[in-house]
Structure 1
Amino acid sequence: MTLDVDGDLFDLANSLAGLLGAPVTIEDRDTIVIAYSGGNQDVDEARIGTILGRQVPVRYREAIAATGVFEKLRTSDDVITVDLPEEHMVSRAVIAVRDEGRLAGSIWAAIPGGPSAAQAEILRAAAPVVAGRLRAEASRADRNRRERVALLDTLLGGGEEAEAVAADRTMRGDWAVVTIRSADDEALHQAAGPLTLHLAAIAPGALSAPQDRSIRGVLPAGSAARILGDFLRRFGARDRLAVGIGTPVGQVADLPESRVVADQVADALVRRGRVGVVASLDDVFADVLVDRLEGFLNLHRRSSPLTRLAEHDRTHEGGLVDAVRAFLDTGEISTAAEALTVHPNTVRNRLRRAREACGVDVGDPAVRLALMIDLRVVR
């Protein structure tokens, strides 16, 4: 049996697995699985999770990293054995794949007891072949990425051009824009490729691409939350990503409106540290509302009733802000007093001073609303 050098990376992985007599995965330099051999997927839980998630699950990745293998791959061209019996993993033989001296990826083979001399030689011979295929695949992937970005830009631009793209892609029914954001640019970079593969397998009509320090996509509205929730569960860096789903639209021309909402939802999640979740506007309506009003409050802070209370406290140490906050949080004088560990009459007196000295009457529903929004922004 010889190595198949004419097929794609999956053909190459299958051919190499046949030569080695062992399951194979091929990863890129970011340890994202880009190809794997068929059959023997249940060799151990680590392989199952790796193939399903397109990346080694966090638990196993941390254990593998502790062996120093990733540092060795940066400098060594030899076959490295990773043996972690305590993780119930079959031993892995791994070799770096380099393109013009730079680390481009790696080949992993699950071989009980480690590789024989003959298997190690096969892996060494395969590395440059895989490097050539990775180079060709990277070029093709770059062209595909540019095409996806152009299509997504057209769809999110709305109008007749968007309608033409939707017709060409047979996009029917309600669709929604999704926005994935993170405080960690590296997490976004790592997620783009796996999400493309995930959508290709589960929702062929969907589309995603990096855009404006985000990943944006257009998905069927009815299944977007399920599809992306499944993706997060499988993706290793899910605890660094926040996914916002825009409003469903029946007309592709309305996708720009859906994009605005998706961005707002994703931003609200990131600002509050809510990562690893998928949310729609229904889930975070109050947070998005507060975020939309924050600019107004910052611009007109001097006129806010909360500012008047705070200035009074600075001058008289009256505790008015604390009393108002506790009353608004609890809705009752006695409960607010318990929260502040003071007598209920103290709370009553402070609320009265807020009204008489500052013109802030918590009995007025409009004033209460303004105070609650401002306090939420401050928090």
Structure 2
Amino acid sequence: MLVARSVDAVREAIPAYRDLRGPQLDEVENIARASLHRLLELWIDDGDIERDRPAFRAIGTARAADGRPLTDILRAYRVAADVFVRHVVDHHLDELEPADVADLSLLVLRTLDAVSEAIIDAYTAYRDRLTSDRGQAQAAFLDDLLAGRQNSSGAIADRSRQLDLVLAGRPRLLIVAATDPADSVSDDDLDTILRALGASPHTDQSDPAPRAHLCTRRGTRGILLLSGPVDRAVLDTVCAASDLRGCLMPGRPIADVAATYRLACDGLDTAPGHAFADRELLDDGDCQLLVLLTARATADTDAVVSSVLGPLRDPSNSHLLDGVRAFISTGTATAAAAELHVHPQTLRYRLRRARELTGRDPRHAWHRLALDTAIQLRQLDGALRTR
């Protein structure tokens, strides 16, 4: 109960701790439990906190790697210590002598001082090492984002400032791989992409200006986190010239990069060759469809519909959606036009306009599958809603 109260008090007092979930929250609870237990031991046995310094130095290093603000870390220990002292006073004061309370107060002050010193030393040392190589530090930051080790907006902002980054709140994620599975994406490949987008190559660390992108490599793939507008046609051209293919995901909150990365990887891992027939990069709709087709637990039919059909869901574009549906069901523009009682040229215009809005041409097998699946899901959902 005391541990839970301490963690609740920390999360209430410190905004950066409110967003912690899963393993990170479990870690905070474990540290709180061990620290409070150790504090009680020191009070009972009149022990020495010095032997605990390595453990707290390890915590300082880990928190520096997480990007959690140093002031928040130290405050968390003060808040937890306050909860402990108040618990003792509220529940055990009748059992204690004034000297016992005085000893406890002095012990808490000495312990907080020693813990703070150990954490500050390790935190500062790690940060000094990290910022000595800006490129490596920035790649490590993206690795943490991809792994979900960085999901607090406050911690992300703090680490961005430390690494001299100006990242968008909703960056786009680009993953590229060599068309030959035996090859790997190189630094030159990533630099070529960045130059085409008007950004500084990630291997050039001489430019002192803040960066708006991050790069790293995982296995044979290259990963870029991009801010600002991204020209898909330019990327397609660059990737084709470099024998690369990949996936460009839309802008989502930076704290959701890990989930976006997993979705993109699922898509690339399962995409058939003909999904790249008319382009080099998959998109969100392709990945959502592939997750559905492979029966992943994360499959979301609403996401398939919205990401594949996009603007075609708007009532003002219902005639375009009807044209796509008729073309898919009949197989030709002439037959689709006859079904809708319009001129074949009108039907072709509607298909061309739908292609411009969605990036999908129903004459290509993969796009036809994506559009047909999304249309059917939308119709099924409408039928269920009217029952």
Please tell me the TM-score bracket, short chain as reference. Answer: 0.3 to 0.5
TM-score by length of 1: 0.33
**Higher RCO (C-alpha 8 Å, min separation 6):** 2
More strand by share: 1
The structure whose residues are more often helix, as a share, is 2
